[in-house]
């Protein structure tokens, strides 16, 4: 049965059941250490025409549309959650991996594919371009589910690389697709487009992020529920403007998320949670739709070449590209090895594989099936062995859960932070200004405000008044910056030591 032939009510019911089943299955996958995306893909395949669900879905355009929109929101949420202060030390390594590393992976795959398949070189390069980007969500879901932490700056490096390498993969895929579908296209003509896409996409993303900060902080909407709607629309606006201006839309939304996330803005917590939930919804929808699009019976026909291509990507192409790209940096070999191993492939390659289908490139269907096979193999092999490899390389840092510890004591122990009180006098430049406009350090958190005997939960829109007693949590350096901004009196005198006995604190 085709989806279009079903009643709308039944489509809604099936969609709700698939979403609910995906959420419930993700809990089991979290316990087992299996990436959630694999579960979503399998559910989509079981619901498809080859599975017990029997739903026939054969619409690459709709799959590409849903995948592109979903990827935009996933990238924006990833950027919003990226702390630039944390990733700044590794931005050079990430930038090289996201550009040169992706190109090297595509070239190596392009040289290998014609050896095992009856593909011309250009088709091999197209396949290499499609599978050249990694999936951050899959990597970190595995690390969290197994309580594995990587030492040093490895996690920020992987986070920034995985979030920023999709634009290059998109550019290469579109470029090779055009070379195969347009006889008049040439490689020389693609180079100016590369510059235009990344310059325009980067400029639009950075400018849009700044505009988002201004809009959220100054529109003063009458209902708090409208702010998520505003943010939702802004992501689509950034994506659309960058596309119309021939810029890289995926790079634009990712940079917009990073720019917004590293500024002070109203309703930060609620908007961050909204986009986190939206990103999960988009991942589930995207993987379910892509799972419906694939027929497992076709995967069996290309199992042998699919395994060879997947293993070459995992064992040769990714490691070689990482080692060459990171060779200028003094990183231990074990750290480079784990960066190579966690190059997990996710939904992006499957979305990119729909572009050759729509362009009616020769061998496009075989290429799509190969890409899906590569993604499944990568998730099964790399996704389930990341904790083992990290321990074998001795670069994991285990952090056992601490029970029965007060939150503020753990904050002090782990971050070296303090709780301090600032009393504002009438001469303070912060009087009459909103918290969001004070440009406080991102590491400084305004915990509570006491005014005229009443306690106020601090929000970005709260304007400070003379006599306010402001409680701040932060590390020593950030506290000093906050003190200079607020210019409160008796700052040093109002320090709150942390009790050494948590039980005594609760009893007292």
CB 421 within 8 A of CB 496: yes
Summarised one tens digit per residue, pLDDT across range 395-404 is 876 554 444 4
How many angstroms separate the CA atoms of 297 and 313, rounded? 23
Residue 400 pLDDT: 47
Residue 501 pLDDT: 42
How far is CA 31 from its chain centroid? 22
How many angstroms separate the CA atoms of 258 and 279, rounded? 15
Q: Are strands 445-451 and 469-475 parallel, antiparallel or unpaired?
A: antiparallel
- 3-state SS, residue 408: helix
Residue 144 pLDDT: 57
Instruction: Give the CATH superfamily of 407-507.
Output: Regulator of K+ conductance, C-terminal domain (3.30.70.1450)
Summarised one tens digit per residue, pLDDT across range 152-189 is 788 888 888 887 888 889 889 988 998 888 877 777 77
User: Which fold does the domain 58-397 belong to in CATH?
Assistant: Na+/H+ antiporter like fold (1.20.1530)
Residue 413 pLDDT: 46
B/e letters for 295-317, b = 16+ CB within 10 Å, e = fewer, are bbeebeebeebbeebbebbbeeb
In this model, does residue 20 exceed pLDDT 60? yes
Summarised one tens digit per residue, pLDDT across range 439-451 is 788 778 888 888 8
Please tell me the pTM assigned to this model. 0.75
DSSP structural state of residue 329: S
Listed residue (197, 83, 71, 92) closest to 136, CA to CA: 71
In this model, does residue 409 exceed pLDDT 60? no
Domain spans in the chain, listed from the N-terminal domain onward: 58-397, 407-507
Residue 487 pLDDT: 64
In this model, does residue 263 exceed pLDDT 60? yes
Length of the chain: 508
In this model, does residue 506 exceed pLDDT 80? no
pLDDT grade for 230, boundaries at 50, 70 and 90: very high
Residue 319 pLDDT: 95
Summarised one tens digit per residue, pLDDT across range 298-352 is 778 888 888 999 999 999 999 999 999 999 998 899 999 999 998 888 778 888 8
The CA-based dihedral angle spanning residues 458, 462, 464, 467, taken in that order and rounded to the nearest 10 degrees: -50
């Amino acid at each position: 049965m085709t989806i279009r032939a079903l009643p709308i009510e039944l489509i809604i019911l099936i969609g709700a059941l698939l979403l609910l089943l995906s959420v419930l299955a993700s809990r089991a996958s979290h316990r087992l250490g299996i990436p959630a995306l694999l579960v979503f893909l399998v559910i989509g395949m079981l619901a498809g025409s080859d599975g017990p669900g029997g739903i026939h879905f054969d619409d690459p355009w709709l799959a590409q549309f849903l995948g592109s929109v979903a990827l935009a929101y996933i990238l924006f949420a990833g950027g919003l959650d990226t702390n630039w202060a944390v990733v700044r030390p590794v931005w050079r390594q990430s930038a090289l991996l996201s550009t040169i590393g992706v190109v090297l992976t595509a070239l190596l795959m392009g040289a290998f594919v014609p050896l095992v398949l009856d593909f011309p070189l250009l088709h091999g390069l197209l396949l290499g371009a499609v599978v050249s980007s990694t999936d951050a969500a899959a990597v970190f879901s595995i690390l969290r589910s197994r309580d594995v932490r990587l030492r040093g700056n490895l996690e920020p490096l992987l986070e920034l690389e995985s979030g920023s390498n999709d634009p290059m993969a998109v550019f290469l895929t579109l470029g090779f697709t055009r070379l195969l579908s347009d006889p008049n296209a040439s490689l020389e003509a693609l180079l100016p487009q590369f510059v235009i896409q990344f310059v325009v996409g980067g400029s639009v993303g950075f400018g849009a992020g700044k505009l988002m900060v201004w809009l959220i902080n100054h529109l003063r909407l009458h209902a708090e529920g409208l702010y998520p709607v505003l943010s939702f629309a802004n992501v689509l606006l950034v994506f659309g403007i960058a596309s119309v201006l021939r810029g890289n839309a995926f790079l634009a939304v990712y940079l917009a998320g990073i720019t917004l996330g590293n500024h002070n803005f109203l309703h930060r917590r609620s908007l961050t949670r909204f986009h986190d939930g939206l990103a999960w919804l988009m991942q589930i929808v995207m993987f379910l739709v892509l799972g419906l699009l694939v027929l497992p019976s076709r995967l069996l026909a290309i199992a042998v070449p699919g395994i060879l291509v997947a293993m070459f990507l995992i064992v040769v192409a990714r490691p070689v590209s990482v080692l060459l790209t990171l060779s200028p940096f003094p990183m231990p070999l074990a750290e480079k090895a784990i960066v190579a191993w966690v190059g997990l492939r996710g939904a992006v390659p499957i979305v990119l594989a729909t572009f050759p289908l729509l362009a009616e490139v020769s061998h496009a269907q075989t290429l799509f099936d190969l890409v899906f096979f590569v993604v499944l193999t990568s998730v099964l092999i790399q996704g389930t062995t990341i904790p083992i490899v990290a321990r074998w390389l001795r670069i994991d840092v285990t952090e056992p859960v601490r029970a029965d510890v007060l939150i503020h004591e753990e904050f002090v122990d782990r971050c070296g932070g303090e709780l301090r009180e600032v009393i504002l006098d009438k001469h303070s430049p912060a009087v009459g200004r909103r918290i969001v406009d004070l440009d406080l350090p991102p590491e400084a958190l305004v915990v509570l405000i006491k005014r005229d005997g009443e306690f106020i939960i601090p929000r970005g829109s709260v304007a400070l008044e003379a006599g306010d007693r402001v409680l701040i949590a932060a590390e020593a350096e950030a506290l000093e910056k906050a003190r200079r901004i607020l210019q409160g009196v008796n700052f040093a005198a109002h320090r709150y030591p942390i009790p050494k006995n948590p039980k005594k604190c609760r009893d007292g």
